[in-house]
């Protein structure tokens, strides 16, 4: 029988090439990290350094509010993404829904770098599912106007007689409604219907006078563009705006506000769990932690990182509030099924 050598060689080459492609695809799959995070919330140089050290590729998808993030995770994202960044009050919700993977602490030795306040927090005992990433506050970003005092109260949003000019609202139910509750002298965690109704009415009235809603980054950008004079933002956006434009300033209103901790968590169905835990450990490195906060201008929960943070940042009370200010701040609680009260209020605010 005559053997067709060229055909045999082509077949052999095809098999080898297919095997090579399959092996290459498998290798590429093993060295990919899928990160789901707020916009402008990680230094691209940190991402590049992680990719170089672990010979991997980091894919980043962005969100602007926790509601859309949670909806995407619930809708199948738990098997698509590896690492997500939930706020403290959202962690118990995600734990109850089995959306988070328990952390293997032996793979995250830099946990030792966390400050005492961030070890075993109330929302995640013994850091079973999360490690603190950044923390900060909710407040006002205001443009300075010659001859006019800076606003020091939520009244500049909710009282037409005390307006400081055109303003932006934040597109976040707990933060926006929380501001109205604080203005009324109530807790940001109120579940009293009459208090929530009054807060709703304040927000609806403010909406009619405002430039509109946006995420914190969007509010910052609009104030920098002089589309608005005042807006509700997170502290990091406020401080970054002050760097970009010295005619802006960040203020925590005298009535008080929200303090929060954002966390890194590995999703329950993370396709690259080992690499995800390497990422958490990398972020908790002291020098990386300092680099991260220098970029975001949020406060670091990494005690070891403080040795590498610029003294001017450590002394900046917009980043690290004084004790008399933090005494007026509240963490958002997980309200369980009572959260539906806020969902109902938010729907009414957005549709009226």
The pLDDT value given to residue 20: 41
Q: Residue range 102-115: average pLDDT?
A: 98
Mean pLDDT, all residues of the chain:
92
R_g of the chain computed on alpha carbons: 24
Residue 11 — pLDDT band, cuts 50, 70, 90? very low
Full set of structural domains in the chain with CATH? 10-135+261-314 (3.40.190.10), 136-259+321-351 (3.40.190.10)
* Helix ranges (DSSP H) in 147-272: 155-158, 173-183, 193-209, 216-224, 235-244
Are 136 and 98 in contact by the 8 Å Cβ rule? The answer is no
For the record, the structure tokens of 335 come out as 């309200």
* Residue of 169 and 147 predicted with greater confidence: 169
Q: Where are the beta strands (DSSP E) in the chain?
A: 32-38, 57-63, 83-84, 130-143, 167-170, 212-214, 230-234, 248-251, 257-266, 329-330
Report how far residue 172's alpha carbon sits from residue 157's, in angstroms, rounded to the nearest whole number: 15
The pLDDT value given to residue 146: 87
Residue 55 has pLDDT above 60, yes or no: yes
Q: Residue range 5-15: average pLDDT?
A: 41
Report how far residue 80's alpha carbon sits from residue 173's, in angstroms, rounded to the nearest whole number: 26
pLDDT in tens, 181-192: 999 999 999 999
The pLDDT value given to residue 301: 98
Q: Residue range 108-119: average pLDDT?
A: 97
The pLDDT value given to residue 29: 54
Count of H-run helices and E-run strands, the chain: 14, 10
The pLDDT value given to residue 24: 46
pLDDT in tens, 190-241: 999 999 999 999 999 999 999 999 999 999 999 999 999 999 999 999 999 9
Q: Which of 71, 39, 69, 35 is nearest to 234 (CA)?
A: 39
Residue 31 — pLDDT band, cuts 50, 70, 90? confident
pLDDT in tens, 243-291: 999 999 999 999 999 999 999 999 999 999 999 999 999 999 999 999 9
Q: b/e map of 106-128 (b: 16 or more CB within 10 Å)?
A: eebebbebbbeebeebebbeebe
Are 160 and 188 in contact by the 8 Å Cβ rule? The answer is no
User: Which of 23-32, 66-75, 96-105 shows the highest mean pLDDT?
Assistant: 96-105
Q: Residue range 101-120: average pLDDT?
A: 97
Report how far residue 129's alpha carbon sits from residue 95's, in angstroms, rounded to the nearest whole number: 8
Q: Residue range 9-31: average pLDDT?
A: 46
Helix H or strand E segment including 70: helix 66-74
Q: Residue range 36-41: average pLDDT?
A: 96
What pTM did the predictor assign?
0.88
Rounded to 5 degrees, what are φ and ψ at 168? Answer: -115, 145
């Amino acid at each position: 029988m005559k053997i067709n050598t060229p055909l045999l060689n082509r077949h052999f080459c095809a098999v080898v090439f297919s095997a090579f492609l399959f092996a290459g695809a498998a290798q590429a799959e093993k060295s990919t990290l899928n990160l789901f995070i707020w916009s402008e919330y990680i230094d691209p140089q940190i991402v590049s350094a992680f990719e170089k050290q672990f010979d991997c590729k980091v894919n980043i998808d962005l969100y602007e509010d926790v509601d859309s993030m949670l909806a995407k995770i619930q809708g199948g994202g738990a098997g698509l993404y590896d690492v997500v960044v939930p706020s403290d009050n959202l962690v118990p919700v995600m734990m109850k829904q089995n959306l988070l993977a328990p952390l293997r602490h032996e793979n995250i030795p830099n946990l030792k770098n966390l400050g005492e306040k961030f070890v075993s927090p109330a929302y995640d005992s013994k850091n079973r599912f999360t490690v603190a990433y950044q923390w900060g506050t909710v407040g006002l970003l205001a443009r300075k106007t010659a001859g006019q005092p800076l606003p020091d109260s939520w009244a500049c949003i909710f009282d037409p007689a005390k307006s400081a000019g055109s303003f932006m609202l934040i597109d976040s139910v707990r933060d926006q409604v929380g501001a109205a509750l604080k203005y009324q002298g109530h807790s940001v965690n109120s579940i009293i219907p009459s208090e929530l109704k009054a807060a709703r009415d304040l927000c609806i009235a403010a909406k009619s006078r405002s430039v509109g809603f946006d995420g914190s980054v969007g509010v910052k950008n609009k104030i920098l563009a002089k589309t608005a004079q005042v807006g509700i933002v997170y502290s990091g956006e406020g401080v970054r705006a002050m760097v970009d434009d010295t005619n802006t300033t960040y203020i925590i209103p005298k009535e008080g506000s929200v303090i929060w901790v954002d966390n890194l968590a590995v999703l329950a169905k993370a396709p690259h769990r080992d690499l995800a835990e390497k990422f958490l450990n990398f972020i908790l490195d002291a020098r990386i932690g300092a680099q991260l906060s220098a970029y975001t201008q949020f406060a670091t929960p990494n005690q070891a990182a403080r040795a590498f943070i610029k003294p001017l940042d450590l002394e900046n009370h917009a980043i690290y509030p004084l004790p008399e200010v933090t005494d007026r701040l509240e963490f958002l609680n997980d309200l369980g099924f009572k959260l539906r009260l806020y969902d109902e209020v938010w729907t009414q605010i957005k549709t009226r």
